[in-house]
Structure 1
Amino acid sequence: MSDPRADRFVRSHLKTRHLVLLVELGRHGSILHAAQAANLTQPAASKLLGELEHALGVPLFERLPRGVVPTSYGEVLIRRAGAALSEMDAAHQEIMELLSGLSGRVAVGTVMTPSINLLPQTVQLLKSRYSRVHVSITVDSSKVLIARLRAGELDMVIGRILDSDSANELHFEPLTDEPHSLIARAGHPLVNQADLSLEQLVQEGWIMPPAGSILRDRLTALFLSHGLDQPAETVETTALPMITNLLIGSNMISALPEELVRPYIDIGLLTVLPYDLGLRMDWYGIVTRKQHKLSPGAQAMLTTLRDVAATLYQTAPAPTPAR
């Protein structure tokens, strides 16, 4: 049952220019710059912001000498305003698609591993079915991608839901987990060494993910559980070209999903060291927004993604989520 107070706010007070201003304030942190981006004067922008705060009865931004910072209430409204504007853009896109046949755009976010195999195969199959659908792909961490999905900037994400606060807004279709192996160059001195131990391995140079990442935390826990300090020689990066070049050109080692570096393993540049880390990342899957109807182009992408995932991971296609 809808809240009549919310109905009054939306119908009586909220206008499109309020939404645009909120989004620009979130981007620029300045009433002047947000007003310019929204094609408003600064007094008009200040008046619109005051109208919103008066209607809601809460402060949306903290005024500082060098700009404005959203309060917790403001953060909610900025995120929802972005999603609302994205919905209207999607409505326009969908109408254009209906007029011209299946085309349009779909924006997909993905973590690193699915970007190597799953997503390229999906795009190829989608293009063979619907050549006019334009696909935009963003590769980043799950945290960043989920935030963009909730803001309406992405249609779907292949990743993980890490924040329990956002779980109620999202639908998750699990695909597979992510076992990690110890990767090194093909001629590494430890390749043929039997009975490798973590005590030996910690003496090597390691390519590590940055502090605060899930993988880094699990590697740290692994070392600590064996009573070991962190490796003394490390390079921190998540850039795959950098990682592969460092591995090929040195004796450094790294914990990676084999799928990420399979082409290098197949041509004999990299190999898997004979040590089981026992390290598996949480399952990643397809994440979409609940109560959001995808455009025809995005729905075609989702269907194709399920088809390819069913083949790659030998699972039956997941049912279409209720919306």
Structure 2
Amino acid sequence: MSNSKPDRFVRTHLKTRHLVLLVELGRHGSIFHAAEAAHLTQPAASKLLTELEYALGVQLFERLPRGISPTWYGEIMIRRAGAALAEMNAAHQEVMELLSGLSGFVSIGSVMTPSMNLIPQAVSLLKSRHKRLHVAIQVDTSKILIQRLRAGELDMVIGRILDSESAAELNFEPLTDEPHSLIARGKHVLAQRKKLTLNDLAKEAWILPPNGSILRDRITSLFLSHGLDQPVETVETLSLPVIASLLMATDMVAALPEDLIRTYLDAELLSVLPFDLGLRMDAYGIVTRKQHRLSPGAQAMLDILRELAVQDTDK
């Protein structure tokens, strides 16, 4: 039975050094610097790139007066090359861990709210069953986490899929949504007001997530859709300790899920202001790559996340 055309390309033309060179070209935007990083001479790097473009029948990079820039085809190859190398690095790591008697490694990314409750519960349960399993956790925005997942740098993500291109490559198992409330320090002057307006809030100092996040876009839209300018005095951060400290020490306000700061609310260090933002984030869920077989450790984590999700639904 003859191999398919893609299979022939991989088996006949593609070499590991092609993948390494692609990744370095994406990082450096220069054949000279990419060659250095890949431990190649510049002529050898140029030859490898020419071989790859000839085999594919497309131009992967535009040659510019200073450096190179990937075409759309090049962007695809860089991303896939990074994922392929990450897979081989993960395979090597698994083999070394088995040789040293460890049980494996799992890397998980999470948006903020599940990082405060679901992830700690899952890790605690995982460790009770597999004490020697190493777990790495990254907390960030869905956009960045999904990029790392697609590149093979994370095993799974608790977050949101934000674009159709990513959706075609990923599995999504919804967990829950996130209603957001307006939060301030416990004795904030606005907490004594019986009625607040959006115009009042536009004059306040805000703690906001970075540009490009869903919540930031929705807060911006909230003000603009009512004909109001965005707040002028702002601080950008995703760090919950920083957000909580700023809220308690200043008159700043922030939009946060109440579950995320329940301890502060119960201690009356923070309070929920009497204003309905109407902000309800899209459901976050467990995101994994399609047609990708998880390591035993990653599969154990996935099973526990599903187990906890069922328990939460049954409550």
Q: Name whichever of 286-295 and 59-68 sits farther off.
A: 59-68
Q: Counterpart in 2 of 1:192?
A: 192
After TM superposition, what 4+ stretches of structure 1 lie above 6 angstroms from structure 2?
none
Cα offset for 1:287? 0.3
TM-score (norm 2): 0.92
Cα offset for 1:179? 0.6
Q: Counterpart in 2 of 1:203?
A: 203
Cα offset for 1:294? 0.1
Q: Is the 8 A contact 2:178 2:282 kept in 1?
A: yes
Cα offset for 1:269? 1.2
Q: Counterpart in 1 of 2:147?
A: 147
Cα offset for 1:141? 1.3
Counterpart secondary structure, 1:314: helix
d(CA) in 2 for partners of 1:108, 1:287: 10
Counterpart secondary structure, 2:162: coil
Q: Is the 8 A contact 1:103 1:297 kept in 2?
A: yes
Cα offset for 1:215? 1.4
Q: Structure 1 201/3 Cα, relative in aligned 2: closer, same or farther at 3 Å? A: farther
Which one-letter code corresponds to 1:314 in the other structure?
Answer: T
d(CA) in 2 for partners of 1:231, 1:78: 39
Q: Is the 8 A contact 2:202 2:230 kept in 1?
A: yes
d(CA) in 1 for partners of 2:62, 2:3: 28
State how 1:153-232 maps to structure 2 within 5 Å. 153-232=153-232
1:310 aligns with 2:307: no
Cα offset for 1:272? 0.9
Q: Counterpart in 1 of 2:278?
A: 278
Which one-letter code corresponds to 2:263 in the other structure?
Answer: P
Q: Is the 8 A contact 2:205 2:251 kept in 1?
A: yes
Q: Which runs of 5+ in 2 are unaligned?
A: none
d(CA) in 1 for partners of 2:133, 2:286: 19
d(CA) in 2 for partners of 1:295, 1:123: 16
Which one-letter code corresponds to 1:218 in the other structure?
Answer: R
Counterpart secondary structure, 1:161: coil
Q: Counterpart in 1 of 2:235?
A: 235
Q: Is the 8 A contact 1:191 1:274 kept in 2?
A: yes
Cα offset for 1:101? 6.1
Q: Which runs of 5+ in 1 are unaligned?
A: 317-323
Q: Structure 1 232/13 Cα, relative in aligned 2: closer, same or farther at 3 Å? A: closer
Cα offset for 1:96? 4.8
Q: Is the 8 A contact 1:215 1:281 kept in 2?
A: yes
Equivalenced residue count is 314
Cα offset for 1:3? 8.1
Which one-letter code corresponds to 1:217 in the other structure?
Answer: D
Cα offset for 1:114? 1.4
Q: Structure 1 186/292 Cα, relative in aligned 2: closer, same or farther at 3 Å? A: same
Counterpart secondary structure, 2:106: strand
Q: Is the 8 A contact 1:180 1:257 kept in 2?
A: yes
d(CA) in 2 for partners of 1:36, 1:211: 35
Q: Counterpart in 1 of 2:7?
A: 7
Q: Name whichever of 136-145 and 171-180 sits farther off.
A: 136-145
Q: Is the 8 A contact 2:140 2:238 kept in 1?
A: no
Q: Structure 1 34/315 Cα, relative in aligned 2: closer, same or farther at 3 Å? A: farther
d(CA) in 2 for partners of 1:78, 1:109: 22
d(CA) in 1 for partners of 2:157, 2:3: 31
Identity, % of aligned pairs? 72
Q: Deviations over 1:274-305 (max 9, x none)?
A: 22212101111110000000000110111122
Q: Counterpart in 2 of 1:319?
A: none
TM-score (norm 1): 0.89
RMSD of aligned alpha carbons: 2.2
